[in-house]
Structure 1
Amino acid sequence: MSLGNENFLCLNDIRDVLEHNTGTKKVLGIALDIDETNEFYIHESAFNGMQNLIFLKINTKTRDIKKGFRWHFLEGVNYLPPKLRLLSLDGYPMQCMPSSFRFETLIKLEMRWSKLEKLWEGVHDLPRLKEMNLGGSENLKEIPDLSLATNLEKLRFDSCSSLVELPSSIQYLSKLTYLSMTDCTKLETLPTGVNLKSLEELNLCGCKRLKTFPEISTNITFLRLSHTEIEEFPSNLRLDKLRYLFMFESKSKKLWNRVQPLTLLMTILSPFLRVLMLSSIPSLVEIPSTIQNFPLLRDLKIMNCINLKTFPTGINIQSLDRLNLIACTRLRNFPDISRNISVFFLDQTGIEEVPWWINEFTKLRLLSMPGCKNLRKVSLNTSELKHLIIVNFSDCGALTELMLNDSSSMVATDIPVCDDASSPLIDCYFLKVKINLINCFGLDQEALIQQQTVFEQLRLSGEEVPSYFTYRTTEPSLTIPLHHTSPSQQFFKFKVCIVIECGFLPICHSPLEIKVCCLFRDMLGNHFDSVELLQLFHQSETKLDSHIFIADLCFLLNKENACLADQLNYDHVDIQLPVIFSNTWVIIKEWGVCLFEDCSSLENRLDICEDNEDNSFNVTKQGEERRGSGVGTERSSK
Structure 2
Amino acid sequence: MLNLSVDAFSKMKKLRLLRVLCLLNCDDLKYFSNELRLLDLTGYPLKSLPSKFQPGNLVVLLLPYSRIEQLWKGNRPLYKLKIIKLKGSQNLIKTPDFTTAPYLEVLIMEGCTRLVDVHPSLGVLKRLQLLNLRDCKSLRSLPTKIGMESLETLILSGCSNLASFPEIDGKMEHLKSLDRSGCYKVEYLPENLHQAQFLEELDLSKTAIKEPPSFISQLKNLKVLSFDGCKGPYKLKRNLLSLFKVSQRGRMNSIAPMLPSLSGLTSLTKLKLRACNLGEGDIPSAISCLYSLTRLDLSVNNFNRIPASLTGLSKLEDLSLSSCGLCNMGEGDIPSDISGLSSLKVLDLNGNNFTSIAASLARLSNLQYLGVCNCRELESLPVLLARKTSEWKHNWSYFIAINNYRLAENMSAITLLKRHIKAFENSRKRFDVVIPGNEIPEWFSQQRGGSVIEIPLPLNIQNDNQWIGVAFCCIFGGDDGSELKVIGGPT
Instruction: Name the TM tier (shorter chain).
Output: 0.7 to 0.9
Counterpart mapping for 1:50-61 below 5 A:
50-60=12-22
**Number of corresponding residues:** 440
Indicate how the Cα distance of structure 1 residues 464 and 60 shifts in structure 2: closer, same or farther if over 3 A, else same.
same
**CA separation in 2, counterparts of 1:90 and 1:200?**
26
Match in the other structure for 2:476: 501
Instruction: After TM superposition, give the deviation of residue 269 of structure 1 in Å.
Output: 6.4
Match in the other structure for 2:43: 91
Match in the other structure for 1:192: 144
Instruction: After TM superposition, give the deviation of residue 436 of structure 1 in Å.
Output: 2.3
**CA separation in 2, counterparts of 1:173 and 1:478?**
61
Instruction: After TM superposition, give the deviation of residue 131 of structure 1 in Å.
Output: 0.4
Instruction: After TM superposition, give the deviation of residue 312 of structure 1 in Å.
Output: 1.4
TM-score, normalised by the number of residues in structure 2? 0.78
Structure 2 residue identity aligned to 1:371: G
Match in the other structure for 2:315: 340
Instruction: After TM superposition, give the deviation of residue 584 of structure 1 in Å.
Output: 5.4
Match in the other structure for 2:159: 207
Match in the other structure for 1:607: none
1:227 and 2:182 aligned: yes
Q: Is the 8 A contact 1:132 1:156 kept in 2?
A: yes
Q: Percent of aligned pairs with the same residue?
A: 25
Instruction: After TM superposition, give the deviation of residue 341 of structure 1 in Å.
Output: 1.0
Instruction: After TM superposition, give the deviation of residue 223 of structure 1 in Å.
Output: 1.1
Q: Is the 8 A contact 1:130 1:154 kept in 2?
A: yes
Counterpart mapping for 1:408-557 below 5 A:
411-413=386-388, 415-416=389-390, 432-438=396-402, 439=404, 441=406, 444-445=411-412, 448-451=416-419, 452-454=421-423, 456-466=431-441, 470-472=443-445, 474-475=447-448, 490-493=465-468, 496=471, 498-503=473-478
Given candidates 40, 43, 63, the residue that maps to 2:6 is 43
Counterpart mapping for 1:391-406 below 5 A:
391-399=370-378, 402-403=381-382
Q: Is the 8 A contact 1:344 1:368 kept in 2?
A: yes
Structure 2 residue identity aligned to 1:441: R
Match in the other structure for 1:303: 274
Q: Deviations over 1:296-343 (max 9, x none)?
A: 111122223345543112432111111122222446433606221111
**CA separation in 2, counterparts of 1:97 and 1:471?**
65
**CA separation in 1, counterparts of 2:396 and 2:63?**
49
Structure 1 residue identity aligned to 2:342: T
SS at match of 1:137: coil
TM-score, normalised by the number of residues in structure 1? 0.61
Match in the other structure for 1:389: 368
Q: Is the 8 A contact 2:168 2:192 kept in 1?
A: no
Match in the other structure for 1:4: none
Instruction: After TM superposition, give the deviation of residue 450 of structure 1 in Å.
Output: 4.0
**CA separation in 1, counterparts of 2:44 and 2:91?**
12
Moved more, 100-109 or 343-352: 343-352
Indicate how the Cα distance of structure 1 residues 122 and 465 shifts in structure 2: closer, same or farther if over 3 A, else same.
same
Structure 2 residue identity aligned to 1:367: L
**CA separation in 2, counterparts of 1:355 and 1:318?**
19
1:278 and 2:192 aligned: no
1:248 and 2:205 aligned: yes
**CA separation in 1, counterparts of 2:204 and 2:355?**
29
Indicate how the Cα distance of structure 1 residues 174 and 403 shifts in structure 2: closer, same or farther if over 3 A, else same.
same
Indicate how the Cα distance of structure 1 residues 447 and 380 shifts in structure 2: closer, same or farther if over 3 A, else same.
farther
1:168 and 2:130 aligned: no
Q: Is the 8 A contact 1:54 1:84 kept in 2?
A: yes
**Structure 1: where are the runs of 5+ without partners?**
1-33, 62-68, 420-426, 506-582, 595-638
Indicate how the Cα distance of structure 1 residues 50 and 268 shifts in structure 2: closer, same or farther if over 3 A, else same.
farther
Match in the other structure for 2:249: none
Structure 2 residue identity aligned to 1:396: C
Match in the other structure for 1:290: 243
Instruction: After TM superposition, give the deviation of residue 156 of structure 1 in Å.
Output: 1.3
Structure 2 residue identity aligned to 1:49: K
Match in the other structure for 2:193: 238
**CA separation in 1, counterparts of 2:190 and 2:167?**
12
Instruction: After TM superposition, give the deviation of residue 135 of structure 1 in Å.
Output: 2.5
**CA separation in 1, counterparts of 2:241 and 2:391?**
42
**CA separation in 2, counterparts of 1:183 and 1:488?**
56
1:586 and 2:484 aligned: yes
SS at match of 1:433: strand
SS at match of 2:435: strand
Match in the other structure for 1:21: none
**CA separation in 2, counterparts of 1:41 and 1:397?**
59
Q: Is the 8 A contact 1:302 1:324 kept in 2?
A: yes
Q: Deviations over 1:110-163 (max 9, x none)?
A: 223333332222222222110012223333222121112111101112222222
Match in the other structure for 1:104: 56
Moved more, 366-375 or 202-211: 366-375
Instruction: After TM superposition, give the deviation of residue 475 of structure 1 in Å.
Output: 4.2
SS at match of 2:390: coil
RMSD (Å) for aligned C-alpha atoms:
3.6
Match in the other structure for 1:121: 73
Match in the other structure for 1:11: none
Instruction: After TM superposition, give the deviation of residue 434 of structure 1 in Å.
Output: 2.0
Structure 1 residue identity aligned to 2:13: Q
Structure of greater Rg: 1
Indicate how the Cα distance of structure 1 residues 472 and 107 shifts in structure 2: closer, same or farther if over 3 A, else same.
same
Instruction: After TM superposition, give the deviation of residue 373 of structure 1 in Å.
Output: 1.1
Instruction: After TM superposition, give the deviation of residue 585 of structure 1 in Å.
Output: 4.2
Asked which structure has the greater RCO (Cα within 8 Å, sep 6+), the reply is: 1
**CA separation in 2, counterparts of 1:289 and 1:398?**
37
1:138 and 2:90 aligned: yes
Q: Is the 8 A contact 2:44 2:66 kept in 1?
A: yes
SS at match of 1:237: helix
